[in-house]
A and B are shown apart, each in its own frame.
Chain A
Amino acid sequence: MAGSTLEKLTTGMQEAASETSSRSPQAHRPEHLAAIHCENLSVFYGAQQALFNISMDIPRHRVTSFIGPSGCGKSTLLRSFNRMNDVIENVRLEGKVLIEGENIYEPGTHLPTLRKNVGMVFQKSNPFPMSVRDNILFGPRRQGVKNRALLEQIIEDSLRRADLWNEVKDRLHTSALDLSGGQQQRLCIARALANSPRILLMDEPASALDPISTAKIEETIYELKDEYTVVIVTHNLQQAARCSDITAFLYLGKLIEMNETAKVFRNPSNKQTEDYVSGRFG
């Protein structure tokens, strides 16, 4: 219910800010297209190659998880979906990444619009040293939303969706840094949702949290897939099994296997996958 209100309220904002969405409005988005489609994607850090010819389709309104041992390129792959790799110097990329049909590595891509539509939550919670309220509104304000009622609505909706509303509704003006670790991470999720993205990328969102906070985050993730396409990188195999629909296993920069989560964990088609999910290495 809250979601539909937000959808309505933020249409104005999307028209104002996003070129992509005005070119392919939500209503006419072809359903058969994958949310993210990549083709022969290779990423290099200087001379070192981090990803090798990755091709995959990530379906919309599903939770997709990337698993694999450290350094296998999960995060690199995730960060190439909203071009956050551009921040790092000496990164080179080959191949294509299509977000809802559009190649985001085409010259002339408007990065702020892309990143507004493809939100991201980082491994370490990184709320700004501002009030809870200002954290949530950081994105919408930068995109030029001025309407006070709309801003209030955005705060409540995004906090509700991140399961944080009941805990912080009375202290929206206190510093975000006074929240607990788990709350801070959920605040970061809420902050990303305040931009009303279509895709949410999460880079090990629960790795620095205690089991109870982790459980809350997982619950949140599971609820989010009704409205968003979620991609999550995780170290924790149980987490992938619990809250994702599709699992991709990466190893040494290559995509080894990608399938329904149940299949990957119970009946993997690849030997390496089997070894990894059964705990024989990694």
Chain B
Amino acid sequence: MVDTRSASGGDAAEARTLRAASRPSGEGAPYIWTTSLAVVLVLVMLVGIVVLILVNGLRTFWPSPLVEVLLRDGTRYLGEVHAQEAKPQAQRTGRAGAPAEYRTKLKIGNRDLGAADFVWIDNASIKAQRPPSDALVFERLEYGNFYGRLKEVRAGERPVAGGGEEGIATLRRFHRTAAGKRQKLDDLRREQLNIRQPLTNLEREISALRGSRFAVSEEGAAELRRLEPQLGPLQNQLNEKVRPLVVEQERLRRDLEGLRVVMETANGKIASIALADIVRVTQPNTMGMHHKVLHYLGKLIEFIWQQPRESNTEGGVFPAIFGTVLLVFLMTIAVVPFGVVAAVYMHEYARQGRLLRIVRVAVNNLAGVPSIVIGMFGLAFFVYGVGGTIDQLYYSRYLPTPTFGTGGILWASLTLALLTLPVVIVASQEGLAAVPQAYREASLALGTTKWQTIHRVVLPNATPGILTGIILAISRASGEVAPLMITGVVKLAPSLAIDGSWPFLHLDRKFMHLGFHIYDVAMQSPNVEAAMPMVYSTTALLLLLVLALNSVATIVRGKLRQRYAGSKL
């Protein structure tokens, strides 16, 4: 057999011929076929799942055309076609062997008017269908989409425009005004909250103390007696401060209440909708390519940068992205030093004997422990053990309300660190083993201490291997959900773990996570069908995020490899 290593460069073709010649014709062919078939199968499945997720995830934001359907019984529907399929055998009316009958799934929205979001229509019962150019879609803050035709726009109590193109233009103009006022209202509300922050803090302190064991003690009661009288004056003082804001808000709210649009549904029902409740107005059947692209980008940006709405099935996933990245980041900070130090001891210092072999086997096996078990351990050790102790020592006045003794981003990331520790240790050991012994000897022979050798020669040259470990750890950690569910992930976190209030990084806070978000939206949301596109989009985003995190690490490793080109890692 020809050595394949010698086949590099110009000799490659020759080597291939030689190899072919050295194999009796036909021998081994079935093995080559079966093995390559396995690879093809793997690739097909892999590409299939990625394409499915990306296609479904990325098309969510593309505006779909509206159709108006008139059925034989006179019912009208207006909505988006979501699916076409052959009817199940059991529901068919014709004889066996008759041509397949089809049905259509239509998203008709208007949940507040009593209808379900989706209807199935037998294609046979359709009398006529057309794409109406004057149909509008409203994305709303509540109750999902609204589909219908414009009747009139009202400002105050008087109508300012009727239907038709002109009416739609007026609607858009008033919608922009309403959106601006809404933004102003939100800003005022935030400002008011900021001004009232000291009061909120005091109230929280008092209510935490009231429920605590500490309050029963002499000292606690005294503390409460000291705090409670402060409440009234502070309240008065702050109320005085926020009064103008409250008045302004009231005025805005009245204005917004007056800005309404009256709509007619496909069935002739009339609905009056406040413009402030509408997020986006679209007229999909008249949109040109240019507008569709703008719409797409707008929704994409909303998806990435905004808060979720409607129990996570609409709006954005920013808190979940933030939580995922921060979690992986904290996990990396925790696991890398620990894993590398352990690997350095095991590879460079420890006596290579039976005990070490047992330790290595144990570390390898730790990598196979199911993540839920690690999660349980994290709950028992970090949350109840370490967190509980911290509460006893430093936050005992609030007990039994826990501060650190409950799930939070710190405990979740430490649990993940524990989960990925074996991966980092094993990869780091391999990285250390790949550093040529000649480097160690050269360094020692130059009169360095063992630590200087490790620090200056061994570790820098082992960095690519160590980074491989980090890449694997990040991949594993960013995909884990099970251990997080018992160590601090939540459906909706009231605030991010990093914000403007001291100490800026709040490691005790609960957090949102893309993986859990997928599970939650897909399995726990009140309207699973309507939430489906969101699940695909979030999944696609998670895939891309993992890819991005990995790419960064891989690029760094590539750079380092170039630097230590001779070390053949």
Contacts and interface: CB of A to CB of B under 8 A. Distances in A.
Interface of A: 17, 82, 84, 87, 89, 111-117, 119-120, 122, 124, 126-129, 138-139, 142-143, 175, 177, 188, 191-192, 195
Interface stretch (B56-64, B444-452, B466-474, B488-496): B444-452
Interface in B385-441: 436, 438-441
Contact of B446 (A129, A139, A177): A139
20 contacts: A87-B440, A87-B441, A87-B444, A89-B352, A112-B448, A113-B447, A115-B444, A116-B447, A117-B447, A119-B446, A126-B438, A128-B457, A129-B563, A138-B446, A142-B446, A142-B449, A142-B456, A175-B566, A191-B442, A191-B446
Given A89-B352, A128-B439, A142-B456, A192 B445 contact: yes
A45 to B, nearest CB: 15
A129 B438 contact: no
B447 A139 contact: yes
Given A89-B352, A129-B567, A142-B452, A120 B445 contact: yes
A17 B438 CA distance: 24
Contacts of B567: 129
B440 to A, nearest CB: 7
A126 B447 contact: no
Contact of A82 (B445, B457, B564, B566): B445
**Chain B interface, DSSP helix/strand/loop, else mixed:** helix
B565 A126 contact: no
Contacts of A126: 436, 438-439, 441-442
A120 B446 CA distance: 8
A127 B440 CA distance: 11
B441 A122 contact: yes
A138 B443 contact: yes
Interface string B446-490: 111100100011000100000000000000000000000000000
A115 B461 contact: no
Given A120-B445, A139-B447, A142-B449, 5 more contacts: A89-B352, A114-B447, A115-B445, A115-B446, A122-B445
Nearest to B453: A142
A192 B445 CA distance: 8
B447 A142 contact: yes
Contacts of B447: 17, 112-117, 139, 142-143, 195
Interface centre among B448, B449, B456, B563 (most CB of A within 10 A): B448
- Interface magnitude class on chain B: 20 to 34
Contacts of A195: 446-447
A208 B225 CA distance: 87
9 closest Cβ pairs, A-B complex: A116-B447, A177-B566, A126-B438, A139-B446, A120-B445, A115-B447, A126-B442, A112-B447, A129-B566
A89 B351 CA distance: 9
A188 B438 CA distance: 12
B446 A122 contact: no
B452 A122 contact: no
Given A142-B452, A142-B456, A116 B446 contact: yes
A128 B445 contact: no
A177 B562 CA distance: 12
A192 B443 CA distance: 10
B557 to A, nearest CB: 15
Interface of B: 351-352, 436, 438-449, 452, 456-457, 461, 563-567
B447 to A, nearest CB: 3
Contacts of A111: 449
Interface centre among B438, B446, B457 (most CB of A within 10 A): B446
Contacts of B461: 129
Contacts of A89: 351-352
Contacts of B352: 89
Contacts of B449: 111-112, 142
A84 B436 CA distance: 16
Contacts of A143: 447
A117 B445 CA distance: 10
Given A87-B441, A122-B441, A192 B446 contact: yes
A124 B440 contact: no
Nearest to A177: B566
A138 B436 CA distance: 17
Contacts of A82: 445
A177 B565 contact: yes
A120 B440 CA distance: 13
B453 to A, nearest CB: 9
Contacts of A116: 446-447
B438 A124 contact: yes
Given A89-B352, A112-B449, A116-B447, A188 B566 contact: no
Contacts of A127: 442
A186 B457 CA distance: 20
A128 B444 contact: no
Contacts of B441: 84, 87, 122, 126
B565 A122 contact: no
Contacts of A192: 445-446
Nearest to A113: B447
A41 B473 CA distance: 51
Nearest to B446: A139
Contacts of B438: 122, 124, 126
Contacts of B448: 112, 138-139, 142
A82 B448 CA distance: 13
A170 B564 CA distance: 22
Contacts of B564: 129
Contacts of A119: 445-446
B415 to A, nearest CB: 38
A129 B566 CA distance: 6
B459 to A, nearest CB: 13
A265 B106 CA distance: 102
A55 B445 CA distance: 24
B239 to A, nearest CB: 66
A280 to B, nearest CB: 34
Nearest to B447: A116
A129 B442 CA distance: 12
A192 B436 CA distance: 19
A192 B439 CA distance: 14
Contacts of A138: 443, 446, 448, 456
A177 B436 CA distance: 14
B29 to A, nearest CB: 43
A186 to B, nearest CB: 14
B496 to A, nearest CB: 43
